[in-house]
Chain A
Amino acid sequence: MRFIRVVAALALAIVSSSADAQQSAADSTLEARTSVVASQLRCPVCQGLSIQDSPSELSQSMRAVVRDQLKAGKTPDEVKAYFISKYGEWILLEPKPHGFNILVYALPILLVASGLGVVFVAVRKWTTPTTLN
Protein backbone atom coordinates (compact mmCIF):
# COMPACT_ATOMS: atom_id res chain seq x y z
CA MET A 1 0.00 0.00 0.00
CA ARG A 2 2.83 2.35 0.94
CA PHE A 3 4.63 1.48 -2.30
CA ILE A 4 1.54 2.41 -4.34
CA ARG A 5 1.29 5.77 -2.55
CA VAL A 6 4.94 6.56 -3.29
CA VAL A 7 4.53 5.64 -6.97
CA ALA A 8 1.35 7.73 -7.21
CA ALA A 9 3.08 10.71 -5.59
CA LEU A 10 6.02 10.39 -7.98
CA ALA A 11 3.73 10.15 -11.00
CA LEU A 12 1.83 13.22 -9.85
CA ALA A 13 5.08 15.14 -9.36
CA ILE A 14 6.29 14.20 -12.85
CA VAL A 15 2.98 15.18 -14.51
CA SER A 16 2.88 18.42 -12.53
CA SER A 17 6.47 19.41 -13.36
CA SER A 18 5.87 18.55 -17.02
CA ALA A 19 2.77 20.80 -17.06
CA ASP A 20 4.78 23.57 -15.36
CA ALA A 21 7.54 23.23 -17.93
CA GLN A 22 5.03 23.39 -20.77
CA GLN A 23 3.37 26.46 -19.24
CA SER A 24 6.75 28.11 -18.72
CA ALA A 25 7.76 27.42 -22.35
CA ALA A 26 4.44 28.83 -23.57
CA ASP A 27 4.93 31.94 -21.40
CA SER A 28 8.45 32.55 -22.66
CA THR A 29 7.30 32.12 -26.27
CA LEU A 30 4.48 34.61 -25.68
CA GLU A 31 6.92 37.05 -24.06
CA ALA A 32 9.28 36.73 -27.02
CA ARG A 33 6.45 37.35 -29.51
CA THR A 34 5.26 40.30 -27.40
CA SER A 35 8.77 41.78 -27.45
CA VAL A 36 8.99 41.48 -31.24
CA VAL A 37 5.68 43.31 -31.80
CA ALA A 38 6.26 45.84 -28.99
CA SER A 39 9.66 46.80 -30.40
CA GLN A 40 7.94 47.84 -33.66
CA LEU A 41 5.43 50.16 -31.96
CA ARG A 42 6.26 53.74 -31.00
CA CYS A 43 5.80 54.97 -27.45
CA PRO A 44 3.31 57.87 -27.73
CA VAL A 45 4.82 59.81 -24.83
CA CYS A 46 8.53 59.36 -25.61
CA GLN A 47 11.01 60.56 -28.21
CA GLY A 48 11.84 57.79 -30.68
CA LEU A 49 11.45 54.90 -28.23
CA SER A 50 9.47 51.73 -28.79
CA ILE A 51 6.92 50.59 -26.23
CA GLN A 52 9.31 47.67 -25.58
CA ASP A 53 12.13 50.01 -24.55
CA SER A 54 10.10 52.70 -22.83
CA PRO A 55 9.57 52.57 -19.06
CA SER A 56 6.47 54.83 -19.25
CA GLU A 57 3.21 53.59 -17.76
CA LEU A 58 1.37 54.01 -21.07
CA SER A 59 3.96 51.80 -22.81
CA GLN A 60 3.58 49.16 -20.11
CA SER A 61 -0.18 49.21 -20.61
CA MET A 62 0.26 48.99 -24.38
CA ARG A 63 2.63 46.03 -23.98
CA ALA A 64 -0.03 44.33 -21.85
CA VAL A 65 -2.55 44.89 -24.67
CA VAL A 66 -0.09 43.38 -27.19
CA ARG A 67 0.45 40.37 -24.92
CA ASP A 68 -3.29 39.85 -24.35
CA GLN A 69 -4.11 40.09 -28.05
CA LEU A 70 -1.36 37.63 -29.01
CA LYS A 71 -2.53 35.30 -26.25
CA ALA A 72 -6.06 35.55 -27.60
CA GLY A 73 -4.81 34.25 -30.95
CA LYS A 74 -4.31 37.43 -32.97
CA THR A 75 -1.39 37.51 -35.39
CA PRO A 76 1.37 40.16 -35.01
CA ASP A 77 -0.01 41.94 -38.10
CA GLU A 78 -3.51 42.02 -36.57
CA VAL A 79 -2.11 43.46 -33.34
CA LYS A 80 -0.24 46.15 -35.29
CA ALA A 81 -3.39 46.86 -37.32
CA TYR A 82 -5.28 47.43 -34.05
CA PHE A 83 -2.75 50.05 -32.92
CA ILE A 84 -2.70 51.67 -36.38
CA SER A 85 -6.52 51.94 -36.24
CA LYS A 86 -6.22 53.82 -32.93
CA TYR A 87 -3.09 55.95 -33.44
CA GLY A 88 -2.55 55.99 -37.21
CA GLU A 89 0.57 54.77 -39.03
CA TRP A 90 2.58 57.14 -36.85
CA ILE A 91 2.55 54.39 -34.21
CA LEU A 92 4.86 52.24 -36.35
CA LEU A 93 8.54 52.96 -35.69
CA GLU A 94 9.28 51.98 -39.29
CA PRO A 95 6.74 53.52 -41.65
CA LYS A 96 5.30 51.33 -44.39
CA PRO A 97 7.05 51.96 -47.74
CA HIS A 98 4.24 53.58 -49.73
CA GLY A 99 3.25 57.09 -50.80
CA PHE A 100 5.19 59.92 -49.15
CA ASN A 101 6.88 57.37 -46.83
CA ILE A 102 8.97 56.09 -49.75
CA LEU A 103 11.06 59.27 -49.35
CA VAL A 104 12.25 58.00 -45.96
CA TYR A 105 13.73 54.94 -47.64
CA ALA A 106 14.76 56.48 -50.98
CA LEU A 107 16.32 59.74 -49.76
CA PRO A 108 19.26 58.20 -47.84
CA ILE A 109 20.09 55.96 -50.83
CA LEU A 110 19.91 58.97 -53.19
CA LEU A 111 22.11 61.05 -50.87
CA VAL A 112 24.72 58.31 -50.54
CA ALA A 113 24.68 57.74 -54.33
CA SER A 114 25.13 61.46 -55.03
CA GLY A 115 27.88 61.69 -52.41
CA LEU A 116 29.71 58.79 -54.05
CA GLY A 117 29.23 60.48 -57.43
CA VAL A 118 30.77 63.72 -56.14
CA VAL A 119 33.71 61.83 -54.60
CA PHE A 120 34.23 59.87 -57.83
CA VAL A 121 34.25 63.03 -59.99
CA ALA A 122 36.55 64.86 -57.56
CA VAL A 123 39.02 61.97 -57.31
CA ARG A 124 39.11 61.59 -61.07
CA LYS A 125 39.72 65.30 -61.47
CA TRP A 126 42.54 65.27 -58.91
CA THR A 127 44.25 62.21 -60.38
CA THR A 128 43.99 63.21 -64.05
CA PRO A 129 47.30 64.79 -65.06
CA THR A 130 46.83 68.31 -66.33
CA THR A 131 48.30 69.04 -69.76
CA LEU A 132 50.89 71.75 -69.78
CA ASN A 133 50.79 74.24 -72.57
Chain B
Amino acid sequence: MNWKRALIAALCVVPVVILFGYGLTRDPKDIPSPLPGHEASPFALAVFAPGQAELARAVGDSMKLNDLKGEVVVLNFWASWCLSCRDEHQILSETAKSYAGKPVHFLGVLYQDEAANGTKWIEQMGGQTYPSVLDPGARTAIDYGLYGVPETYFLDKHGKIAYKATGPVNERIIRHFVDSLMAVQEK
Protein backbone atom coordinates (compact mmCIF):
# COMPACT_ATOMS: atom_id res chain seq x y z
CA MET B 1 0.00 0.00 0.00
CA ASN B 2 2.98 2.29 0.65
CA TRP B 3 3.94 2.44 -3.01
CA LYS B 4 0.50 3.88 -3.79
CA ARG B 5 1.03 6.70 -1.30
CA ALA B 6 4.52 7.31 -2.66
CA LEU B 7 3.13 7.48 -6.21
CA ILE B 8 0.43 9.99 -5.22
CA ALA B 9 3.00 12.12 -3.36
CA ALA B 10 5.34 11.97 -6.35
CA LEU B 11 2.52 12.96 -8.71
CA CYS B 12 1.81 16.00 -6.53
CA VAL B 13 5.39 17.06 -5.88
CA VAL B 14 7.21 16.34 -9.15
CA PRO B 15 5.19 18.76 -11.38
CA VAL B 16 5.63 21.53 -8.80
CA VAL B 17 9.40 20.92 -8.64
CA ILE B 18 9.61 20.89 -12.46
CA LEU B 19 7.63 24.16 -12.60
CA PHE B 20 9.93 25.81 -10.02
CA GLY B 21 13.00 24.46 -11.80
CA TYR B 22 11.76 25.91 -15.10
CA GLY B 23 11.07 29.23 -13.38
CA LEU B 24 14.62 29.39 -12.03
CA THR B 25 16.06 29.10 -15.55
CA ARG B 26 14.19 32.23 -16.64
CA ASP B 27 14.95 35.87 -15.90
CA PRO B 28 11.66 37.45 -14.81
CA LYS B 29 12.89 40.84 -16.04
CA ASP B 30 13.66 39.50 -19.51
CA ILE B 31 10.31 39.89 -21.22
CA PRO B 32 10.47 39.27 -24.96
CA SER B 33 9.53 42.35 -26.98
CA PRO B 34 7.10 41.93 -29.88
CA LEU B 35 8.71 44.87 -31.70
CA PRO B 36 11.77 43.45 -33.51
CA GLY B 37 10.83 42.90 -37.16
CA HIS B 38 8.14 45.57 -37.02
CA GLU B 39 8.04 49.14 -38.29
CA ALA B 40 9.42 51.60 -35.75
CA SER B 41 6.98 54.28 -34.60
CA PRO B 42 7.73 57.61 -36.23
CA PHE B 43 8.74 60.51 -34.00
CA ALA B 44 9.65 64.19 -34.20
CA LEU B 45 11.54 65.17 -31.05
CA ALA B 46 13.39 68.35 -30.15
CA VAL B 47 17.14 68.30 -29.60
CA PHE B 48 18.25 69.56 -26.16
CA ALA B 49 21.85 68.29 -26.17
CA PRO B 50 23.58 69.04 -29.46
CA GLY B 51 26.37 66.45 -29.64
CA GLN B 52 29.81 67.20 -30.97
CA ALA B 53 31.64 67.93 -34.24
CA GLU B 54 30.16 66.27 -37.31
CA LEU B 55 27.49 64.41 -35.29
CA ALA B 56 26.16 67.68 -33.81
CA ARG B 57 22.64 69.01 -34.31
CA ALA B 58 21.44 72.44 -33.22
CA VAL B 59 19.51 72.68 -29.96
CA GLY B 60 15.80 72.96 -30.75
CA ASP B 61 16.11 71.10 -34.06
CA SER B 62 13.35 68.57 -34.64
CA MET B 63 14.76 65.08 -35.18
CA LYS B 64 12.37 63.04 -37.29
CA LEU B 65 12.69 59.31 -37.80
CA ASN B 66 11.46 59.72 -41.37
CA ASP B 67 14.48 61.94 -42.11
CA LEU B 68 16.80 59.13 -40.99
CA LYS B 69 15.44 56.50 -43.40
CA GLY B 70 18.23 54.90 -45.38
CA GLU B 71 20.50 54.90 -42.32
CA VAL B 72 20.93 52.52 -39.42
CA VAL B 73 19.57 54.22 -36.30
CA VAL B 74 20.73 53.52 -32.76
CA LEU B 75 18.12 54.86 -30.38
CA ASN B 76 19.26 54.94 -26.75
CA PHE B 77 16.77 55.80 -23.99
CA TRP B 78 18.47 57.20 -20.90
CA ALA B 79 17.98 59.45 -17.87
CA SER B 80 20.19 61.43 -15.52
CA TRP B 81 18.78 59.50 -12.52
CA CYS B 82 19.65 56.14 -14.12
CA LEU B 83 22.78 54.58 -12.61
CA SER B 84 23.20 51.91 -15.30
CA CYS B 85 23.22 54.66 -17.94
CA ARG B 86 26.58 55.78 -16.53
CA ASP B 87 28.06 52.37 -17.39
CA GLU B 88 27.28 52.64 -21.09
CA HIS B 89 27.57 56.38 -21.69
CA GLN B 90 31.24 56.60 -22.62
CA ILE B 91 31.08 53.42 -24.71
CA LEU B 92 28.09 54.71 -26.67
CA SER B 93 29.66 58.13 -27.12
CA GLU B 94 33.00 56.80 -28.38
CA THR B 95 31.45 54.12 -30.58
CA ALA B 96 29.15 56.71 -32.17
CA LYS B 97 32.19 58.87 -32.92
CA SER B 98 33.97 55.95 -34.56
CA TYR B 99 31.04 55.56 -36.98
CA ALA B 100 31.07 59.25 -37.99
CA GLY B 101 30.68 59.64 -41.76
CA LYS B 102 29.02 56.21 -42.10
CA PRO B 103 25.30 55.67 -42.66
CA VAL B 104 24.63 55.22 -38.94
CA HIS B 105 22.84 57.68 -36.71
CA PHE B 106 23.06 57.60 -32.91
CA LEU B 107 20.37 59.39 -30.95
CA GLY B 108 19.76 59.67 -27.21
CA VAL B 109 16.21 60.02 -25.90
CA LEU B 110 15.82 61.52 -22.43
CA TYR B 111 13.27 59.53 -20.46
CA GLN B 112 11.15 60.93 -17.60
CA ASP B 113 13.64 63.70 -16.94
CA GLU B 114 14.23 67.43 -17.31
CA ALA B 115 16.42 68.91 -20.05
CA ALA B 116 18.47 70.83 -17.46
CA ASN B 117 19.24 67.61 -15.55
CA GLY B 118 20.17 65.87 -18.80
CA THR B 119 22.48 68.69 -19.89
CA LYS B 120 24.19 68.81 -16.49
CA TRP B 121 24.63 65.03 -16.47
CA ILE B 122 26.22 65.08 -19.94
CA GLU B 123 28.66 67.74 -18.76
CA GLN B 124 29.52 65.70 -15.68
CA MET B 125 30.08 62.62 -17.84
CA GLY B 126 32.54 64.49 -20.05
CA GLY B 127 30.25 65.26 -22.99
CA GLN B 128 28.34 63.24 -25.55
CA THR B 129 29.31 62.97 -29.21
CA TYR B 130 25.77 62.41 -30.56
CA PRO B 131 22.63 64.50 -29.96
CA SER B 132 19.93 63.81 -27.40
CA VAL B 133 16.26 64.71 -27.67
CA LEU B 134 13.38 65.27 -25.26
CA ASP B 135 10.40 62.93 -25.07
CA PRO B 136 7.54 64.86 -23.45
CA GLY B 137 5.06 62.59 -21.68
CA ALA B 138 7.23 59.55 -22.55
CA ARG B 139 5.05 59.09 -25.65
CA THR B 140 7.92 57.82 -27.78
CA ALA B 141 9.13 55.58 -24.94
CA ILE B 142 5.68 53.95 -24.77
CA ASP B 143 5.56 53.69 -28.57
CA TYR B 144 8.79 51.69 -28.31
CA GLY B 145 7.48 49.48 -25.50
CA LEU B 146 10.03 50.75 -23.01
CA TYR B 147 10.20 49.07 -19.58
CA GLY B 148 12.98 51.18 -18.11
CA VAL B 149 16.31 52.76 -18.84
CA PRO B 150 18.72 52.15 -20.35
CA GLU B 151 17.23 50.46 -23.39
CA THR B 152 18.71 50.63 -26.87
CA TYR B 153 16.94 50.00 -30.16
CA PHE B 154 18.72 49.22 -33.43
CA LEU B 155 16.69 50.24 -36.48
CA ASP B 156 17.49 49.11 -40.01
CA LYS B 157 17.58 51.42 -43.02
CA HIS B 158 13.92 50.75 -43.77
CA GLY B 159 12.90 52.03 -40.35
CA LYS B 160 12.20 48.60 -38.87
CA ILE B 161 13.26 47.67 -35.36
CA ALA B 162 15.88 44.96 -35.79
CA TYR B 163 17.07 44.46 -32.21
CA LYS B 164 16.33 45.69 -28.73
CA ALA B 165 18.93 45.66 -25.96
CA THR B 166 17.71 45.92 -22.36
CA GLY B 167 20.19 47.26 -19.83
CA PRO B 168 23.58 48.85 -20.48
CA VAL B 169 25.11 47.99 -23.86
CA ASN B 170 28.79 47.29 -24.42
CA GLU B 171 30.92 47.99 -27.47
CA ARG B 172 30.73 44.38 -28.71
CA ILE B 173 26.91 44.47 -28.74
CA ILE B 174 26.75 47.86 -30.46
CA ARG B 175 29.28 46.93 -33.14
CA HIS B 176 27.69 43.52 -33.70
CA PHE B 177 24.24 44.97 -34.32
CA VAL B 178 25.35 48.07 -36.24
CA ASP B 179 27.82 46.17 -38.44
CA SER B 180 25.31 43.43 -39.22
CA LEU B 181 22.66 45.99 -40.19
CA MET B 182 25.15 47.91 -42.32
CA ALA B 183 26.24 44.66 -43.99
CA VAL B 184 22.60 43.96 -44.90
CA GLN B 185 22.48 47.38 -46.54
CA GLU B 186 25.59 46.76 -48.55
CA LYS B 187 24.29 43.50 -50.07
A positions within 8 Å CB-CB of B: 44-45, 57-58, 61-62, 64-65, 84-88, 90
B residues 5-44 touching A (CB-CB < 8 Å): 31-35, 38
CB contacts (< 8 Å) of A45 on chain B: these are 147-148
Q: Of all chain A residues, which has the CB nearest B34?
A: A88
Asked if B126 CB lies within 8 Å of chain A CBs, one says no
Q: Of all chain B residues, which has the CB nearest A84?
A: B34
Known A65-B142, A86-B142, A86-B143: A58·B112 in contact at CB below 8 Å? yes
In the complex the two chains form, is A64's CB within 8 Å of B137's CB?
yes
In the complex the two chains form, is B35's CB within 8 Å of A86's CB?
yes
With the chains together, A85 CA to B32 CA distance in Å?
A: 12
CB-CB nearest 7 A-B residue pairs: A86-B145, A61-B138, A88-B34, A44-B147, A87-B145, A57-B112, A90-B31
CB contacts (< 8 Å) of B121 on chain A: these are none
Q: Which of B112, B142, B143, B147 has the most CB of A within 10 A?
A: B142
B residues 127-150 touching A (CB-CB < 8 Å): 137-139, 141-148
| Chain A contact surface mostly | helix
With the chains together, A94 CA to B31 CA distance in Å?
A: 16
Known A57-B112, A58-B112: A86·B144 in contact at CB below 8 Å? yes
Tally of B interface residues using CB under 8 Å: 18
CB contacts (< 8 Å) of B137 on chain A: these are 61, 64
The 8 Å CB contact of A85, one of B34, B141, B146, is B34
Chain B: minimal CB distance from A81 (Å): 12
With the chains together, A57 CA to B33 CA distance in Å?
A: 21
Chain A: minimal CB distance from B57 (Å): 25
Q: Which of A61, A62, A84 has the most CB of B within 10 A?
A: A61
B residues 149-177 touching A (CB-CB < 8 Å): none
Q: List 18 A-B contacts (CB under 8 A).
A: A44-B147, A44-B148, A45-B148, A58-B112, A58-B138, A58-B141, A58-B142, A58-B146, A61-B112, A61-B139, A65-B139, A65-B142, A85-B38, A86-B34, A86-B142, A86-B145, A87-B34, A88-B145
Other than the known A61-B142, A86-B142, A86-B144, what 11 A-B pairs have Cβ atoms closer than 8 Å?
A45-B147, A45-B148, A57-B112, A57-B138, A58-B138, A61-B112, A85-B34, A87-B33, A87-B145, A88-B31, A90-B31
Q: Of all chain B residues, which has the CB nearest A114?
A: B12
CB contacts (< 8 Å) of B141 on chain A: these are 58, 61
Q: Of all chain A residues, which has the CB nearest B113?
A: A57
In the complex the two chains form, is A88's CB within 8 Å of B32's CB?
yes
Q: Of all chain A residues, which has the CB nearest B31?
A: A90
Chain A: minimal CB distance from B135 (Å): 10
